[in-house]
Amino acid sequence: MVGGHGDAAERAAGKLGDAFFPKIFPNSELWARLPVLITTMRVAAVEAARDPDKIEITSGEARSADGLQRVRDLGVSLMVIRARSRDLQELRDELMRFGDEVIAKT
């Protein structure tokens, strides 16, 4: 797995990686930058005579069914979800909400 968000990381993922985890913090830049990073990785794979569809892509922070569908449409197959709570009961509630609002709808 190659991680990062610079040109070198995207190109290395495309040329050499079995997986790519673009490091983007969940903020307003996510939806503008993620497609560009993935496209750069895919172009590098094609240039290296590799099938870009065989490179597994991981992303994070899609906290809605619509957000999850957006990243799936970009080719993301694995999600990392950062827990917001440190309290055990709040964490349980947060994960249950995620299950109900995102997982169950996808």
Q: Roughly what angle, to the nearest 10 degrees, separates helices 7-16 and 30-47?
A: 40
Position 61 pLDDT exceeds 80: no
Q: What is the mean pLDDT of residues 31-53?
A: 94
Cα(106)–Cα(96) distance, integer angstroms: 15
Position 25 pLDDT exceeds 80: no
Q: Which helix H or strand E contains 51, and what residues bound it?
A: none
Position 65 pLDDT exceeds 90: no
Which amino acid makes up residue 54?
K
Position 30 pLDDT exceeds 90: no
Look at the pTM and tell me if it is higher than 0.85.
Answer: no
Cα(30)–Cα(103) distance, integer angstroms: 21
What is the pLDDT at residue 46? 98
Torsion angle in degrees (nearest 10) through CA of 37, 43, 49, 52: 50
